[in-house]
Each structure stands twice: as structure tokens, then as C-alpha cells.
Amino acid sequence: MNNNIVKGQYGEYKVLDRCIVVGYHFFNSIDEIEKYRYFRLKSNLKSMDNVLNEAIKVMKANGLVVSTIQ
């Protein structure tokens, strides 16, 4: 089981077998991260763009599921 903690510029990300943990949120794909980013925007919540962008980079670097939008 892949169970790594990756330290980035904006925080720590836990990489599991098929997902990444960002704070209290589990993401299985880049699409899920983008949906969460859109939800935060529409809800007038504080932007987490730097953290979410870094999470996408960590996902790609660890060979996790890439975007399903084609």
C-alpha cells in the first residue's frame, strides 16, 4: 500500500493508493479537485488555489489518476 506524506510549499499531502488527502478532503482525480475549487468559488469561501494546484502536481508526480475530461 502506497502511504506517503509529501511535503510541499503550501502544506503536506498524504498520498494513498488511489487518492490524495488535502486537509480533510480525499480526491481521486483532478476533476474532483476542480469541482471542489469551483464549489469554494461559488460559496465565497477563501481561495485554496495554491494548495489545490500543488495537490494536482503531487498527483501527477505520483502517477495517480489524471483528469477524466477529454
Asked if residue 33 is part of any domain, the answer here is yes
Residue 42 domain-assigned (yes or no): yes
Burial class (CB in 10 A: 0-12, 13-18, 19+), 22: buried
- pLDDT tens, 26-54? 999 999 999 999 999 999 998 899 999 99
State residue 61's pLDDT score: 87
End-to-end CA distance of the chain: 29
Task: Report percent pLDDT > 70 for the chain.
Answer: 87
pLDDT computed for residue 68 by the predictor: 57
User: Is 11 within a domain?
Assistant: yes
Q: Report pTM.
A: 0.81
Task: Tell me whether residue 14 is in a domain.
Answer: yes
**Which of 69, 64, 45 is closest to 4 using CA atoms?**
64
φ, ψ of residue 36 to 5 degrees: the values are: -65, -40
